[in-house]
């Protein structure tokens, strides 16, 4: 995707609402899982919030890698670390934050299916409609032609650091970077946040 992509900053209030909505959909179908698999890293917070809302005690992790750097896919999606526990005979819900190409969740679901669970479903907070896999449950769809990079609260500093460094390569200096992030990405970043980023990467 674009070097400086259009972004949407998600708040913790958005996250709470998405978790409530997904949990309600699971409950409507009486499909409470016995194990939740959280994809690392983006799916960990959503998985934990859903475990709380659904009263699920067993949370297992699975590492899928695709978009290594903000808005930059790193080749094909891969499972780089297997499940942290067995899921034989379990009702499994595989959870991630967003399906974009859908490759990570697709691979994860396949990986889980091969480990003899009784049932596998999937859930994400957001679903971009270009994704090749539609999760069983999601809170909100983003139309493919409205693609944005979603800056989740659990990825804020990482995303901001990457985007600010890219902006600084063209227009160095904290205030010019701030103006570039607003104009190009649609991100209104407090100056103090960029001052913090500037302590770890040079912004000019
Ligand atoms: P994908 O395999 O393309 O469906 O994307 C997998 C992972 O990359 C997601 O779980 C996110 O952590 C991250 N990601 C991909 N696209 C986006 C996006 N548009 N906004 C924020 N994170 C994304």
Residue written as tokens 């970043």? Answer: 189
The span from the CA of 165 to the CA of 197, in Å, is 9
3-class DSSP state of 2: coil
Q: For residue 165, give every residue at least 6 positions away whose Cβ sits within 8 Å of its Cβ, in sequence order, or none.
A: 201, 203
- The owner of tokens 């200096």 is 173
Kindly state the average pLDDT of the residues 20-36. 98
User: CATH number for the 11-147 domain, one of 3.90.1560.10, 3.40.50.720, 3.40.50.2020, 3.40.50.620?
Assistant: 3.40.50.2020
**Closest atom of ligand 1 relative to the 41 alpha carbon:** 12
| pLDDT score, position 114 | 98
pLDDT at residue 2 greater than cutoff 80: no
Q: What is the mean pLDDT of the chain?
A: 96
Q: Do strands 78-81 and 58-65 pair parallel, antiparallel, or not at all (unpaired)?
A: antiparallel
51-61 pLDDT tens trace: 999 999 999 99
Look at residue 68 in the predicted model and tell me its pLDDT.
80
Q: Which one of the listed residues 16, 100, 159, 188 is annotated catalytic?
A: 100
195 has a pLDDT exceeding 70: yes
> Domains of the chain: which residue ranges?
11-147, 152-197
> For the residues 20-40, what does the mean pLDDT come to?
98
Q: What is the pLDDT of residue 63?
A: 97
42 lines ligand 1 (CB under 6 A): yes
Give the per-residue pLDDT at 13. 98
74, pLDDT greater than 80 = no
Choice among 64-68, 78-82, 136-140 with the minimum mean pLDDT: 64-68
Burial class (CB within 10 angstroms; exposed 0-12, middle 13-18, buried 19+) of 108: buried
Is a pLDDT exceeding 80 seen at residue 138? yes
* pLDDT number for residue 11: 98
Average pLDDT over residues 166-191: 97
Q: Quickly list DSSP for 11-60.
A: PHHHHHHHHHHHHHHHHHTT---SEEEEEETTTHHHHHHHHHHHT--EEE
**C-beta 159 within 6 A of ligand 1:** no
- Alpha carbon nearest to ligand 1 atom 6, residue: 104
Using a 6 Å cutoff on CB, does residue 98 contact ligand 1? Answer: yes
> Which pair of tokens denotes residue 4?
């400086």
* pTM score, whole prediction: 0.96
Verify whether residue 100 is a known catalytic residue.
yes
Bond into 41 cis (ω within 30): yes
The owner of tokens 């407090």 is: 190
Which pLDDT belongs to residue 71? 84
């Amino acid at each position: 995707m674009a070097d400086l992509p259009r972004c949407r900053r998600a708040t913790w209030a958005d996250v709470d609402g998405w978790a409530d909505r997904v949990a309600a959909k699971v409950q409507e179908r009486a499909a409470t899982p016995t194990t939740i698999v959280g994809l690392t890293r983006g799916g960990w917070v959503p998985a934990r919030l859903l475990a709380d809302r659904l009263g699920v005690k067993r949370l297992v992790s699975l590492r899928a890698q695709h978009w290594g750097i903000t808005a930059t896919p790193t080749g094909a999606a891969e499972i780089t670390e297997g499940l942290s526990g067995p899921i034989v005979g379990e009702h499994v819900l595989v959870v991630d934050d967003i399906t974009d190409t859908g490759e990570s969740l697709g691979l994860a679901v396949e990986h889980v299916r091969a480990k003899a669970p009784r049932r596998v479903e999937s859930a994400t907070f957001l679903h971009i409609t270009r994704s090749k896999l539609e999760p069983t449950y999601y809170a909100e769809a983003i139309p493919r032609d409205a693609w944005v990079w979603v800056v989740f609260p659990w990825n804020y500093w990482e995303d901001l650091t990457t985007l600010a460094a890219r902006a600084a390569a063209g227009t160095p200096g904290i205030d010019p970077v701030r103006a570039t992030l607003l104009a190009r990405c649609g991100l209104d970043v407090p100056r103090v946040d960029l001052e913090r980023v500037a302590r770890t990467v040079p912004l000019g």
